[in-house]
Amino acid sequence: MTSDQTQVRKGRKFDQVLAGARDVFMADGFEGASVDAIARAAGVSKATLYSYFPDKRLLFMEVADTECARQSRQAFDSIDTDAPPRVVLGLAGRHLLGFITSTFGQQMFRLCVAECDRFPELGQRFYNSGPAVVRREMAGYFETAVARGQLRMEDPLLAADQFGELCKGDVWLRLTFGIIDRISQAEIDRVIDSAVDMFLARYAA
């Protein structure tokens, strides 16, 4: 695929292409994913694939948009926001850290950083479909918790940013820079439990 064209065209098999591409990207990564493999997985011809996505980066980012939206829905739909803040924050934090340290989450971040000079729209799309959604949803939850008297804060958006950073601990950077190659559930639990403790020490009513 070339980078000369930047327009995505939707058609009857658009969702089919996305589903196949997601499977291949998840299995092989961005660099390892070939157009032939994606076309086979999607059950379409290469010509059909090219007609929808003239650039592999565009296909990856469309998959990323869809995956980020799915992850966000899954996270917040599965959390009972009427539960105590410690429970809500623990579940949200585990989902967040699990996703950003996943192979797919890491690939998305690295691609955006690597290509942001040539394709600044990639970074904007990634931010809008992922971090911005989580930030907005968390801020909305904090506003509700403040109204209930469970939390006390003046700037829910800043608090959402702070909570997101606390959830990364040091494991996200170590994973991003290749110092470690995976993170265990026990490590996720350790980081998130500490993040929730620190956050509530500042904002609990």
| pLDDT 10s digits, 98-130 | 989 988 788 878 877 877 777 777 778 778 888
Compute the distance between CA of residue 205 and CA of residue 203 in angstroms, rounded to an integer: 6
**175-183 contacts at long range (C-beta below 8 A, 24 or more positions apart):** 175/101, 175/106, 176/106, 176/109, 176/110, 183/97, 183/101
1-54 and 57-203, same CATH topology? no
Provide the mean pLDDT of the chain.
88
Q: What percent of the chain clears pLDDT 70, i.e. is strictly above it?
A: 97
| pLDDT 10s digits, 161-172 | 999 999 999 999
Confidence band, pLDDT 50/70/90 cuts, at residue 6: low
What pLDDT, on a 0 to 100 scale, did the predictor assign at position 175?
A: 92
CATH number of 57-203: 1.10.357.10
| pLDDT 10s digits, 61-101 | 888 888 877 777 777 788 899 999 999 999 999 999 998 99
CATH number of 1-54: 1.10.10.60
Is 53:8 a contact under the CB 8 Å cutoff?
A: yes
Among 69-83, 141-155, 183-197, which is the least confidently predicted range?
Answer: 69-83
- Tell me the three state secondary structure of residue 96: helix
User: Which DSSP symbol is given to 80?
Assistant: -
What pLDDT, on a 0 to 100 scale, did the predictor assign at position 2?
A: 43
What pLDDT, on a 0 to 100 scale, did the predictor assign at position 204?
A: 98
Phi, then psi, of 131 in degrees rounded to 5: -55, -40
What pLDDT, on a 0 to 100 scale, did the predictor assign at position 74?
A: 75
In the chain, where the domains are located = 1-54, 57-203
